[in-house]
Every structure is written in C-alpha cells, then in structure tokens.
Structure 1
C-alpha cells in the first residue's frame, strides 16, 4: 500500500488518541514510554486529524505534566517538547494553551525551564530552554491564566531580562553568556514582560518589587554584545517600555526615564553615527530612524496618560524644543509616523497652558505652516500624510490657539490662507478659523482671500453650509429656499434624536445639534465678518445667507418649540394665559420663517428679472441692423447691398 494510504488509515483508526490514553499505563516503564512518545511525535508531525484526536484525549496536559520527570538521557523532555510544538502548529492553538494553563502544567514547565537555565550548557539544551519560554509566553497570553502566579516567578523573569544583580536565590549566581541562544532568550523575556503587563496581578507584583523599568534603562548600556545585537535589544527594550511605562508611571519617573529618553532623542538627532542600517524586525527604516521612531513612540505612550508631573518634567527638560527640531527630510511611512507622533506629543504638552504655548512660539508656528503647505494630492497616497495633516490641525488647536502672540505669528505667516485652501477637505477647520477671527488681521485675510475660480472665503463657507444641510437632511427646495416654515433649520437626524430624547429626558436635540455640525461655527464667522460688507455673492449665495443671518433666531424658536411639545406631551396643567403665550411664540417663529422665505423669493425674482433683461438686451443686439461695409448704409446681415458687385458678373 502507498504511504499516503497508510497514513489515512492511521488517522481513521484513531490510534493516536488510544496511544495518548495509554500513557497512564507506562508510568514505571520508561523505555516503552519513550517509544510511545516517539510514535506520537511522528503521528503529530504533519497530521491535523491526529493532532485533534490527541487533544481530545488531553494530550497536551498529560505530556506536559510528566515533562519534569527524571530522565538522564534527556529524550523524554525533547520528545515531549516536540509533540507540544506539533500540536500547536497542526492542532487548535486555543485548545493547547487551555490545557497547558493548569497549575500543574505551569509548575512542570517552570521546573524544567529553571533546570535547563541553571544547568543546561549545551547548544540543544539552550534551544530547548527557549522553546519552553515561548510556550510560557503563549500560556501567559491566555486571558485570566496563571502563567506566573507566584511573586518569585514574576520577579525572577524581570531580573532575568538583563542579568540585574539581585538577592533572589534563583538568579544570584546566574551568568548568561553572549551566545545566540542567550540573546534570543533575552528577547523572549522582554516579550514575556509585555505579555504579563496585560495581567493586573502580575503588574502589581512588578510594581511591588519596583524592578520592571530599571532593566529597560540598563539595556541602553548593556555591553558584550555585537553592535547588531545591542541595537536590536535596545529597540525591543524601547518597544517593551512603550507598553509597560503607561501602566507604571511612578516607577517610570523614579528611574528618570524621561531624561534617558530625551538624551537618546538628542543623540539620534545630532549624532551621524546613527545613520547606519538597523537590524531585526524593530529596526525597519535605518538605525538612526529606528531608534528615533521607538524613542518618540515611548514618549507618546506615557504622554497620552496626561500625568501632569510627567508632562511638567518633560517641559522642564526642554522636550518642546527637541521635538520641534525633529523634521526628517525623507517622506516615507516611518518618517511620517515620527512626525505625527511628535505633533501629538506637542499637542499634549501645550494644551491648556499658555506658557508652554509661548515656548512653542515662532519655531513651532513655522513647522505647522510647513505641514499645512502639504500637497493635497499626497493625502490619499497611503503613506500617512492624512494622519500627519490631522495631527497638524490638532497641534494648531492645542499649541497656537489661545495664545495671542502665536496666533498673530500664525496669521502673519499666511496660516489663514492655508486653512482656507484645506477647508474643502477638512471641514473641522471651520472651528479653527472661528477662533482666529478674534484677531482683526485674520478677518482681513479672510475677506481678501481668493481660491479656485476666484471663489471668496464667504462663498466657500456658504458652500460648506449647503453641504452640511444636505448631509443632515434639512428640507430645502432646488433653489435652497425654506420649504417648511414650521421647521426651517431642523434636520432629519435632529427629528430622530428629538423623538428619542423626549422619552429618555436627554439633552435637548436642538442644543445637541449645535455641536454635531458646523452650522453654528459658520454663523459665528459671518457675524465676525459682517453680513453687510460681503460682495461678489450670487443669488444662490444670498438665499443661503438669509438663512444664516437668522440662524440664532431660528435656533431659539426650535428650542421653544421643544419646550412647548414637551409640556403638551406630558399633559401638564398649563395656565390659559401661558398657553396663549406659547401659541403666540409658535406663531412668531412661523412668521419669521415666512418673512425669510419672502426675502428669498424676492432675491430669486430679482435674479430672474436680471436674467430676462440680459436676454432681451442680447436679442435686441442681434435684431439691430448693421451697416454695410462699403457704403455704411443700414443693412441686415442676410441682405446684399446694391454697392456690392455680383461675383458671377464681375
């Protein structure tokens, strides 16, 4: 029979499950047990069916439980480890980790790992030690697992990362070599720290012993490794710190981690020796940029917690100036990520603090203007220019607005013009323009600006208003006129939220609508510009402007209508005089909408009259006789004058 046929028969026979269940019969027969494990190793090497059958018989748990039993040859440990890896690769990883998460299995793995760590010096023993560490990491990733349930184990793993001197008996006399296997183990231990950071119990253990951030700080000065290995360890230490530091801010601050990171940041920005190519997975983008990238990422992770003492410490050490000095010349994804993270850091540092905004100053404004001058075609390139642009807007809001000095510098540098150019793509910039309109210079810039097809800033804002009404479902006719005088500015979404909020006593839908779209901000900008001094608008623009002019009155009317409807829906006892007053309020709001609608009809009528007059003027010019070219006598264009000779008789 062919080999594939025999393998198929073995799978259908279920012999792998039977062999797993027979392990309990071989407790005192080590040679037979080793032969049995060898058979299971072969059956699980490339068969998903056999692996699932073995897992059904709890193979992972049974094999792991007996891994720590004595075997001078080491064959028991080797074959057991190979079977577990086969089950992980070909079977259900979730089922394997679930079976290995029992306290007995973890204790067995821990004992074997410590034995190999302290007494295994041969090449294959170190490889097997690393394989077991990977298994422990997979178990630790399982939610609510107890991969490191005891204080000594968590502390042991922490101190082991970089051979920190400790009185712990597990690591007191431990000395690691500079072999490739020990290098891989340190990387695996760093990964284990990241995994354990998701477990609150293990996090509390490390917080109690205060030993988690210190090995990471020492990793920058670890010697003995090659330049490639040292750089890779540093990058992974930074990656680990970005996950761990936000959870342990007190320990982070006690290690002066901000100082170390800012020194590394300054070294990356100034030292040309960092420009070499980096190594490993974390080093994508070149040596200097890789370290710069992860250094900024750590600072971003701790700053996002918004811990004020930490932010103040960064500012005191000149972080704002250092971050402003970071402007990579390259335009790839890594460089854009670094710039985006720097802008986020500046936003967190300067938000709500005028003094820090002053430190941001002219240099920061120049950086923002440089980013706002970004080519719009790059936004959709997929490299990350869109995130950079959004971070720039966020930084503008946090670092410039609210400080008159930086606002004036921004306006004088042409910032308003850049915002107007981007307004069609980033409509939230309307809020930024509104804040800048507190400055008379910004208003002058707005009124003088001219965009594509000579469109003015008011025309652009009116276009955005119409688009907002279309997107929110406000009822308008094809000419933009009011169609429902009872609800002149009420959108479809507002109606839906109003019906739901009336039953739940939520915030008024009319009030919430102010923060959910840009119409209120556009109205405020026009109040700053002045409704009377706007020129160059079309009839459609004037129709829209008439609604904007009465926006506040309409909004007050809508709020009063909600009050009236709420009173009537609750069947409240309303005094007759109050009821008459409420009805008069509704009538006044409808009359106001009617007056605006009449004004809109008048605007459209005047435009129609002007178009008719223009048409008549053109028609009269066509009908008016033109003079003869030779004798200048009045003559229609289709007639021949007598003074012109007949070409047939000439």
Structure 2
C-alpha cells in the first residue's frame, strides 16, 4: 500500500501540469478546449472547465471567428449535454449563445465563402439547443437569433478582423433551416407563455422579409401550429398580435395556397373565429380594431377555399349578423350590445364583411344562411340613396356611405342572380331603377371617395350608374320572363333610353367607364326587346333615333382602342333585337338612314364585325323599303352595295382558303365552295351529328351574302365588272353547290359504314351527283364566257384606242407639214411667188387653201413667230 502511493501522486502532478499548459494556451486553438470537455476524467475538474469556458467567453466577447465555428458548435453541444446534470453550465451556455448573437468575424474576404457550410451548421445548432428545458437558455437562444438576424450594424475594435454583412448572416439563417426548427420547437413550450411569446417574436422577425424562411416554416406546418395558439388565454394580447403578424408574413412572402390549405380545418377556423369575436365584442382600442380586421382578412382568405368548413364552424351564421349590422335590428346577443364607432377601422371591417359574403356565395348552404339572415335586405338598404345627416356621429360619413353603396352594388352583381326570390321580394328592380334615376339628377351631391369601385368615375355619380347597370345586366341575363316583365312594367326601357341619350354628345362620354355603361344599357335593351313585339314598340322612334346617332360614330374612334368597337357591336345587336321584326320601327329606322349607316359601317369595319352587320342587314332586307335603300346606296369611291358585298365575298374566300385561279374562276370542280375549316378533323369530330357542309353555312357570312343577293335579285344588278360577274355566278349557285357537298358526304358516309344502297337509290344518288357536277361545269363555262367577253371587249377597246392614236398622229403630221410650208413661204419670196401662181392656176382644184399673207393679222402672226 505504501509503495503504490508515490506513483499516484506522480499521476496527479502530471495531470495538473497538463491543465496548466492548456490554460496557458491563448485560446486561439479551441480544439484543446473541446478535448478538455470531452475528457472522461475531467468530470472531477468541473471548476477548471468552467474557468476555461469563462476565459473563452471573455476572449471572444466581440464575436466568434468563422474559422472557429466548428469548435464553437462542439463546445455548445458539450455544454448542452452537461447542463442537465450540472446546472452550473447554464450560465456559460447562455454567455456563449449571447456571443452567437453577434456577427461572425472574418479575417479575410474569402472566409465567408470558405466557412459558409460551417457557419450554416453553427446557426442550425442554435435552433437544436431549444431542446434544453431551461427558461434562461431558451430565452437567450431567441434573443441571439433576433440579434444575429437584425439589421443593426455591429463594429469590432480589433485590427484586421471585420464583422460579416447582414445579408450574409440572413443567407446563413435561410440555409440552416433555423426557422423550421423553431417552429417545431413550439410543441415544447405549451405552458411557458413568456418563452412562447419570445419565440413568436423571433419567428415574426425571421418571416418578415424572407421568402425562404416562410417556405420552410410552411413546410413545418407553421400556419396551423401558430393558429392553434391564437385563442389561448392571453390577458395582455401580444400572443394574438404576434400570431397574426406571422400569418400575415407567411401570406405575403410564402405560398398563399399552402397557407390557406393549412388554415382550412375545423380547429384553425374555430381559433380564428373565437379570436375575431373576442376582438369585435371586447376590443375598444385602435390596436384591437386593427387586429380584428386582420383576422377578418385571414378568414376571408380561408373562405376562398371551397373545402374549408366555415359553415360547420358556425362562422357564416355569425357573419350574416355582422354584415347586416347596423342596417337591420336584431335581438341576437352577439349584436344586441355591439357598438360601432363609425371610424375608419369599423368602415374597413364593413367592407371586408361585404367582401366575404361574395366569396362565400359559391356555396349553396351559405346562400341559405344568407336568406335566413336577410342579407339581401341589408344590401338593399345600403344602396338606397340617402342624404347625409349633418352633425350625426352614429352614421357613416358621406364618403364612407358612398363607398359602401358601391360595394353593396358590387355584391349584388354576384348575389342577385343566386338569390332571385329575395331580390324580387325586396323589389330590387324598383330600387335599382330609382337609383339609376338618382344618378341622372343634377342636383344631388357629387361623388367623393369611390375607392376601388369608383375607378374612372370620381367627381360624379358615374360609378353608381356603372354598377347599377351591371346589376341589371346580371339579372336580365337569366332566362326569367317574370323578372324581365317586371323591369318593363317599371319603365326600364324608357329609363335606359334616357341613360343613353344622356351620354350622346357629351365629351365625358368617351372614357372607359362611360363606354361600359352604354354597352351594358344597350345589352339590357336587347335582352328585354328580343322576341317581344310590344316591347319593340315601346322602344319606338326614340330608340331608333338613339341607334342612328350611335351608328353615326366617327370611324376613327372604332380603331382608337378605347372600346368603341364594342359599342358599335352592341348597337348593331340592339338594332337586331329592338328594331328588326317590328314594321313600324323598321320603317322609322330605314327612313332615318339606318340602312345607309349599316352599309357605311360594312365598308369600313374589320372582318370580325362583318357577321353581325351583314346578318342585321339581311333581316332588314325583308322590308321592300330597305331593299330600295340598299340598291340606291353609294359608298366611298362610288361603290355600290352589290360591289361591296362581292368584294367581301372574295375576301372571305381568301381567308377560308377556297381554290380559285387568278381570275376568280372555279379551280376545283369537285369542291367549288368547300372551305378550309370543313377539312379540319378537329371541327368535324366535335360535331359528328351535323353535316360539315350544313355547319359551314351557319358559321360563315357567305350564306348571308347569298340571301341578300336573293332579296336584291340577281337579274336587276347593273354596273358590275367582269370580276364581279364571275363572283356573282358562284353566289347564284351557292345553294346548289352546298346540296352537292351534302350528296358527296352521304356517299362518303355510306362507304365508310360499309353500307351498299339498293340499285334505285344508287341510281338516284348518281344522277343527283351528276346534276351537281353539271351545275359546277355550267358555272365554270359561264365564268369563262364572261371572261371571254371581257377579253373581246378589251381587244375592241384596245383597237379603238390604237385608231384614235393613229388618227392623232396623222393630224399631227398634217399640221407639221402645213407649218413647214407656211414657214417656207414666209421666209423665201420665190417660194411665195410660186405658191401664188399655183393657187391662181388651180383655184378650182381640191388642194387645201392656205390663209392669206396679207392683212394685219397675218403680219402680226409672222412677227410673233
């Protein structure tokens, strides 16, 4: 026993020497500190380890070098392992974490790239330390993360060492996935309100501007986990505020669909609803009202998800109470003691509630709750024009009231067609027509704060008129005759004509909002008058005068890009629906020059507008007066209506790829009028139950041109060129060509189905096809004869022209010879003397006589020469 004592003392002495040498190290080599902490025999030297760690903290108090981060991570892990059994390490761990909150230090510019992976691991390690069940450690981790990620500038006093930039630190945090780790650590702090609040503040800072952090947080189901904490008992309110801010950050910087999907469950909706109701009923501060509106926006976002159980959670039922408050009185406890301050936050809440019901209107169950909650009546009360009460604090301001009126009208555009029974019960047509009449009055107050719904209509009531007409358009588009009849009984036709007359001739009628109002008004008139003779008579001469004024628009406006082309199309549609079919209205339209204006537009309009114009013109040609006007019309460059129609026919053939030679003669005798769309397999397969030849008739305007020529008479056309006559020969036989196409399709269908017709049917089909082929050959021969006559006429004209040219040259030669003779006589006396002798000798001859040289006139001419 005594002999073994000295070796023991020797071992301890060596150990002490080793410890002192490690203390002498300048702490530049942190790996020795790691070895000291990892030594299994060092547990008895706890004080020495703590002493060394304090030295490390003191030496690195300005921040850790990037090259030392690997050892720092190991030191943090070792301290975390020891802190459970030895609480003394908690203070050291917090000190080290506090230093981690400072910017990492670099000695060279390349250190940031060189040690990027090590820095990422170190930042990630900070998040993993949240597993330590100590309040002070978790508090320090949150504080260090916020400090590290903040935009504050940290300086360092040592020479040659510089702090890393804030952008670099943010990149390290994003790469480390620290935000995801912190979200997952929320489950460890269910009963620690102070730490939870600190953690929420940290997540709020991390998600404020970084899309990467928001994406990894959503990957960890952050929206759902944070929403669960919103309804927890929190007397001071910061938890609710932090949670709301984080959700807003995720909405702005993350995936909206992912956020909506995570919040669309019963627990999240119940938590949001409870928090919203608490803020609505108990909040009285400006801050509380803003937070309430933020929660309502999140609920609106969830409402856009069809699978969200909003109805099952009871939120929609409560929503109907708040939407109609304070317009409708209710004895429900939720709104019985509810007071609105009618300030800006309450106004924003009202607009958000109106927006939510539009989003929820896609659900039929929600519509049933809206009916029970009398939402339609509340909207009608909002749109009703009311004069502001001066000095009243218990109502909206005039500007707010006007904005709510516009938003209620915007809601009706979606809700009125879905809740027609309530709409009719509340006399929606009457109220809208009264509002339209109010908009046309000059003495009511002008517009103030139209906000989004009043774009383009500030300073007046054009925005109200716009949305009012939109609502009427949405309801008349439904095939409900009772509603249309009610509109007509209320005088809608005359009132809409008054709206259109109000815009005619006004300079402010050229903007987009005014054009939209006019187009919608004409559409409503077209729907109301279509197929009803009595309503067309109500449209009458006033409506015809209005249409003629719209058809007289400057052609330059149609191509201006402002929307006048749509206005022209709606005008033509109005002519079709409100004029055509009523003899008295048609006569007024023709007498007012309506047919001439349609032909004018036909000459100047682009191709996509020709179908409507030619179709309307065809319907009007049922009247003999309209036919006479078409025959007498002359357009630009003295073009007649038949010439214009023939030109359009040729253009249509070029567009559809019909085979013609350079003179317009039929090139393919087997397919004289088969267009390119008929050969398209996709269009043929989509309508196998309809013949492609028959379908081609109603899908292009050539059939309408054929019908117009049939009304005008093919034999009564004059002033046509040979090219026009060639085209006219095709038009005249257009229907026969289509019959031939149908026969060809019948034959092809029989062959494709393997059916063999009986001999009599085969013979009949063969004879009919032969007749069709003969018709094509006859038309082709007629075209060639027309061209031959034209060629002969051109040859005769050319011969006559050459004869005129020869006669002109001969006259010029005679005149030149006479002039030369005249000059010779006046310049040579002997020639003059000889000429006189010859004239005296042949006074009875047929030689042409020359003017006498004597006299003052001749002498004057010679002197001039």
TM-score calculated relative to the size of structure 2: 0.72
- From the superposition, tell whether residues 191 and 541 of structure 1 become closer, same or farther in structure 2 (CA, over 3 Å): same
| Counterparts of 1:85 and 1:326, CA distance in 2 | 45
Q: Give 1:293 shift.
A: 1.0
Partner of 1:251: 422
Asked whether the 8 Å contact 1:546–1:596 carries over to 2, the reply is yes
Corresponding residue for 1:267? 438
Partner Cα distance (2:673, 2:687) in 1: 23
| Alpha-carbon spacing, 1:28–1:45, altered in 2? closer, same or farther (3 Å) | same
Aligned to 1:215: 378
Is there any run of 5+ residues in structure 1 with no aligned partner, and where?
Answer: none
- What are the superposed Cα offsets for residues 219-245 of structure 1, whole Å, 9 maximum, x if unpaired? 135761111111111111111111111
Q: CA deviation at 1:628?
A: 7.0
The alpha-carbon distance between structure 1 residues 642 and 12, as it changes in their structure 2 partners (threshold 3 A), is: same
2:757 equivalent among 562, 574, 598: 574
More displaced 10-residue stretch of structure 1: 121-130 or 166-175: 166-175
2:551–2:571 CA contact under 8 A, matched in 1? yes
Match of 1:320 in 2: 493
Measure, in 2, the Cα distance between the counterparts of 1:584 and 1:512.
25
| Larger Rg over CA atoms | 2
Alignment of 1:81 onto 2:241 = no
C-alpha spacing 1:637/1:404, structure 2 compared with 1 (3 Å):
farther
- Which has the higher mean CA deviation after the structures are superposed, 588-597 or 548-557? 548-557
1:454-483 Cα offsets, whole Å, 9 max, x none, are 110000111111122222222111111112
Residue number among 179, 182, 192 corresponding to 2:356 in the alignment: 192
Equivalent residues of 1:37, 1:79 under 8 A apart: yes
Structure 2 counterpart of 1:201 = 365
Tell whether 2:338 aligns with 1:338. no
* Residue equivalent to 1:450: 634
Q: Distance in 2 between matches of 1:557 and 1:21?
A: 77
Matched residues in 2 for 1:242 and 1:499: separation? 36
Does the CA contact (< 8 Å) of 1:628 and 1:641 recur in 2?
no
Q: Using the alignment, how far apart are the partners of 2:683 and 2:183 within structure 1?
A: 64
The answer for the alignment partner of 1:94 in structure 2 is 257
Measure, in 2, the Cα distance between the counterparts of 1:381 and 1:201. 47
Matched residue, 1:145: 308
Does residue 155 in structure 1 map to residue 317 in structure 2?
Answer: yes
Per-residue deviation at 1:277? 4.6
Query: What do you get for the CA RMSD once the two structures are aligned?
Result: 2.2
**What residue is the counterpart of 2:658 in the other structure?**
474
Q: Note if 1:606 corresponds to 2:785.
A: no
Question: Where does the alignment leave 5 or more consecutive residues of structure 2 unmatched?
Answer: 1-162, 389-394, 829-864
Contact 2:523 2:570 in 1 (8 A): yes
Identify the residue that residue 737 of structure 2 maps to in structure 1. Answer: 554
Once the two structures are overlaid, the 10-residue window that deviates more, 32-41 or 119-128, is 32-41
* Number of residue equivalences: 643
Structure 1 counterpart of 2:600: 421
543-552 or 576-585: which moved more? 576-585
Shift in alpha-carbon separation, 1:636–1:7, aligned structure 2, 3 A: same
Are residue 379 (structure 1) and residue 558 (structure 2) matched? yes
User: The residue matched to 1:488 in structure 2 has which SS?
Assistant: coil
| Between 165-174 and 287-296, the greater mean CA deviation after superposition | 165-174
Shift of 1:276: 4.3
Structure 1, 483-492 or 403-412: larger mean CA deviation: 483-492
2:623 to 435, 439, 443: 439
Secondary structure of the residue aligned to 1:325 is helix
Q: Offset of 1:485 from its aligned partner?
A: 2.0
Aligned-pair CA distance for 1:639: 9.4
Mean CA deviation greater in 336-345 or 213-222:
213-222
Q: Deviation of residue 124 (structure 1)?
A: 0.2
Correspondences of 1:514-593 after superposition (within 5 Å): 514-593=697-776
Q: Contact 2:184/2:220 (CA < 8 Å) preserved in 1? A: yes
Deviation at 1:292? 0.9
The alpha carbon displacement at 1:29 in A equals 0.9
For residue 560 of structure 1, report the CA deviation from its aligned partner: 2.2
CA distance in 1, matches of 2:562, 2:802: 57
Which of these residues, 274, 288, 295, is aligned with residue 111 of structure 1? 274
CA contact (8 A) 1:278 1:290 kept: no
Counterpart pick for 1:179 among 334, 343, 360 = 343
* Separation of aligned partners in 1, 2:367 and 2:682: 46
Q: Secondary structure at the match of 1:635?
A: helix
Provide, for residues 243-286 of structure 1, a one-character-per-residue CA deviation record: whole Å limited to 9, x for no partner. 11111111111111111111111111124324445431212313
Aligned residue number for residue 298 of structure 1:
471
* Aligned counterpart, 1:124: 287
Q: Distance in 2 between matches of 1:458 and 1:439?
A: 17
The aligned residue for residue 234 of structure 2 is 71
Q: 1:20 to 1:276 in 2, by over 3 A?
A: closer
Does residue 399 of structure 1 match 2:578? yes
**CA–CA distance in 2 between the matches of 1:368 and 1:504?**
37
The reply to whether residue 390 of structure 1 matches residue 569 of structure 2 is yes
Aligned residue for 1:191, secondary structure, equals helix
Provide the secondary structure at the position in 2 that maps to 1:70.
coil
Distance 1:234 1:550, change over 3 A: same
Partner of 2:838: none
Structure 1 stretch 192-201 or stretch 226-235: which is displaced more? Answer: 192-201
Given the superposition, is the C-alpha separation of residues 625 and 41 from structure 1 closer, same or farther in structure 2, using an over 3 Å criterion?
closer
> Cα gap change, 1:626/1:636 in structure 2, threshold over 3 Å: closer, same or farther?
farther
* Deviation readout 1:497-521 (Å, 9 max, x if unpaired): 69946x9852111111110111221
**Paired residues of 2:580 and 2:586 also in contact (CA < 8 A):** yes
- Give me the whole-angstrom Cα distance separating, in 2, the residues matched to 1:3 and 1:390: 60
Q: 2:548 — aligned with what?
A: 369
Kept in 2: contact 1:235–1:283 (CA 8 A) = yes
Classify the secondary structure of the residue corresponding to 2:417: helix
CA distance in 2: counterparts of 1:53 and 1:395, whole angstroms? 57
